Amino acid sequence: MRNRQLIPRQPGKSSRFSWGRLFDPDRRILVYRLFRRDLTGKVNLGLATFSDFESRLTIARVVRGARNMLRNKVDEIDLRYLGVDA
């Protein structure tokens, strides 16, 4: 893993979807935090945790899957808020 993936990244503040990355050097783990706002404005969180020796391809696949799961969860909340059965 390159050093760039180990640099912390702060999540964006203005978009409906955002993500951040943290690396804990003591435990040697990398955590991706995924954020998405629902229609009520509440923030929903998804996490993906990796050891520092995971490949970039594995990380990308798992983070993409976690993002899709978070999107589906928030879409269900939005449909419920709008009064539409999912």
Q: What is the pTM of this model?
A: 0.79
pLDDT, residue 8, reads 65
pLDDT, residue 9, reads 66
* Strand 29-37 versus strand 43-51 pairing type: antiparallel
Q: Is 13 left (phi over 0), alpha (psi -120 to 50) or beta?
A: alpha
pLDDT tens across 16-73, in order?
A: 788 888 998 899 999 999 999 888 888 899 999 999 889 999 999 999 999 999 999 9
Handedness of CA 77, 80, 82, 86 (dihedral sign): positive
Q: 14 φ, ψ to 5°?
A: -105, -15
Separation of alpha carbons 11 and 46, rounded Å: 13
Structure tokens at 43: 């923030």
pLDDT at residue 10 greater than cutoff 70: no
User: Is 28 within 8 Å of 10 (Cβ atoms)?
Assistant: no
Q: How many domains does the chain have?
A: 1
Which residues form the domain of 49?
A: 3-82
